[in-house]
Structure 1
Amino acid sequence: MTATENKMLLPVSFYALYILSMCLGFLCVVFVCLWSGTWRGGFAWDGSFLQFNWHPVLMVTSLVVLYGNAVLLYRVPFTWSRWWCKVAHAGLLLVAIMLSLVGLSAAFDFHSANNIPHLYSLHSWTGISTVTLFIFQWCVGLGAFLLPWSPMTFRAFLKPIHAWMGMAIFVLSLISSLSGINQKLLLTLNGRNGSNTEPYTALPTEAVFANSLGVLVLIFGFVVLKIILNQEWKNPEFEQESNRPLLADAR
């Protein structure tokens, strides 16, 4: 039996979980957009709270949904070659990096315009660490697995570290997103400063909706990790070719 044939024999449970992950990722994006657009007033780029609303939308979309889907490409039994899978993986992660940088810019610009200190909370520490590790991981992966001058021994050494770091960054993304949702609710639903909203402790509709977003993010993360950590669902063809430079597969 060939590796391609073996890929097509994945159990129904894999496809059920993969479809579930796609639905959950879509719901995460919809929920965070509705939260920012409906309860937080919409979007702008003028240093106001409306500019900050881009931050949760872009960070959840990039660091959670796009990142998770980029990782899952290695498990989906597409008929494409290793070359196209690697290119799609790197390209999707690059889009996620660019969106996350715009999301960070929205937050930093908002803080600067309103004289709010930068990087003072645990959420900001985990968030900036996640993006920094993400960019570093992508650059190292580009040099090691795409460019042809990377020594084979280095690629073989780096592969398990790269995979472990990828999962660690994804977990950090989940932590950052959940802490950010909670921090945003605590800061905005405080019942002070003439706010027309109920306090967070009263669990108003916005709090229920945003908490539901957090639950969706958490379940999405668990489903992605379940798929990735199942050794029986690995793509054998990609495992066998792991020590070859990516550009060699394009020939």
Structure 2
Amino acid sequence: MAMDGPKQLLMALCAAAAVGVTSVIFVLIWVFNYKEGLAWDGGLAEFNWHPVLIVFGFIAVQGFAIIVYRLPWTWKWNKQVMKFIHAGLHLLAFILVVISLVAVFDFHNYAKIPNMYSLHSWLGLMAVILFSQQLVIGVCLYLLPVLPVFWRAAFMPIHVYSGLLLFTSVIAVALMGITEKLIFGLSNPKYKDSPPEAIFVNVLGLLLVLFGALILWIATRTSWKRPSDQNLHILHTNGGGEDNTKRGTALSQLSDQSDVALGDVNKSD
């Protein structure tokens, strides 16, 4: 319990937010300080939208969408509201990713560079396609109450696993992309000579890995899961006089109960 208490959850959330925001700041410094900034003119400045929107949308926004259920101050909100926030953040991430892809293809076509020739581009497009499928299936299963509770409960482990796998894959593909950009973009001095830009972007890569690790840690802690609405009602009704430590312990215990009673979670929606 010492490693999974409410204070540790708050520390992990603050660390993830700090690293995520820092990563976005780093990618903006990269494109404005070392590259040509941002524009929509078919040149390199248009291509720069790609790393910016990938880091902000496909990594940061998607990461926070994954752990939005873990925010204790949102547990008093209706579960359906949280589902819409969860889906809305993923939709925002998808829109930003599509814009980033348009920028890449537009730049390549303008500069007469072949499209889809690298492993980075193959895996990146595959991730976007699978992400869109994950989004559609998630909306159909959990926002539109058309399927029975049994089917929704049975698919939940697959939904969670697929989301975490896609998030991890996106970070890996992003690391491939920024490395590819440095190798092709640095000529004098070259990437192997470790110029300031190379070191700076390598640090960005480390930040992305750290952000991913924090999101996965928060998302996989069983005791940090959102309790069922029924258990939350019981806690708020009977636990008003408890101190913060006891409330944190009770919330963790209720989270474990909610995992067992997944059908009750869906019924409460």
TM-score, normalised relative to structure 1:
0.88
* Partner residue of 1:213 out of 201, 204, 219: 204
Q: 1:244 to 1:51 in 2, by over 3 A?
A: farther
CA shift for structure 1 position 246: 7.5
The percent identity for this pair of structures is 37
Q: Secondary structure at the match of 1:68?
A: helix
Worse-matched range after superposition: 97-106 or 239-248: 239-248
1:236 aligns to what SS in structure 2? coil
Does structure 1 residue 51 correspond to structure 2 residue 42?
Answer: no
Q: How far is 1:236 from its partner?
A: 2.2
Answering whether residue 224 of structure 2 is matched by residue 233 of structure 1, we say yes
Is the 8 Å Cα contact of residues 148 and 245 (structure 1) preserved in structure 2? no
Deviations 1:175-225 (A, max 9, x none): 01111110110010133xxxxxx2111111111111111010000000111
Equivalent residue pairs, number: 235
Following the alignment from structure 2 to structure 1, what is the Cα–Cα distance between the partners of residues 267 and 174? Answer: 35
Moved more, 9-18 or 38-47: 9-18
Q: Pick the aligned partner of 2:65 from 70, 79, 84.
A: 70
Q: Which stretches in structure 2 are left out of the alignment for 5+ residues?
A: 230-257
Q: Secondary structure at the match of 1:74?
A: helix
- Of 140, 151, 167, the residue aligned with 1:170 is 167
SS in 1 for 2:61: helix
2:79 corresponds to which residue?
Answer: 82
Do the aligned residues in 2 keep the contact of 1:147 with 1:246 (CA within 8 Å)?
no
> Per the alignment, do residues 36 and 30 of structure 1 end up closer, same or farther by CA in structure 2, a change over 3 Å counting?
same
1:113 matches 2:104? no
Aligned to 1:11: 6
- Counterpart code for 1:159: M
For residue 40 of structure 1, what is the aligned residue in structure 2? 35
Aligned alpha-carbon RMSD (Å)? 1.9
Residue 130 of structure 2 corresponds to residue 133 of structure 1: yes
> Structure 2 length as normaliser, TM-score?
0.83
* Partner amino acid, structure 1, of 2:122: W
> What amino acid maps onto 2:174 in structure 1?
S
Q: Tell me how far 1:129 sits from its aligned partner.
A: 1.1
Distance 2:169 2:181 in 1: 18
- Distance of aligned partners of 1:158 and 1:145 in 2 relative to their CA distance in 1, 3 Å threshold: same
TM-superposed deviation, 1:247: 11
Could you list the per-position Cα deviations for residues 30-74 of structure 1 after superposition, in whole angstroms to 9, with x for gaps in the alignment? 000110111111111111111000000001111110000000112
Aligned to 2:190: 199
1:234 & 1:177 partners in 2: Cα distance? 28
Quote the residue 2:152 is aligned against. Answer: 155
Q: CA deviation at 1:248?
A: 7.5
The whole-number CA distance in structure 1 between the counterparts of 2:53 and 2:266 is 30
Match of 1:26 in 2: 21
* AA partner of residue 200 (structure 2): F
- The Cα of 1:91 is off from its aligned counterpart by 0.5
Q: Could you say if the C-alpha distance between residues 184 and 152 of structure 1 is closer, same or farther in structure 2, counting changes exceeding 3 Å?
A: same
Q: Which runs of 4+ in 1 moved over 3 A?
A: 238-249
Higher helix proportion, which one? 2
- Aligned-partner Cα distance in 2 for 1:87–1:116: 40
The Cα shift of 1:133 comes to: 0.8
Shift of 1:20: 0.2
**Structure 2 counterpart of 1:222, one-letter code:** A
Question: CA 1:215 to 1:152, structure 2 compared with 1: closer, same or farther past 3 Å?
Answer: same
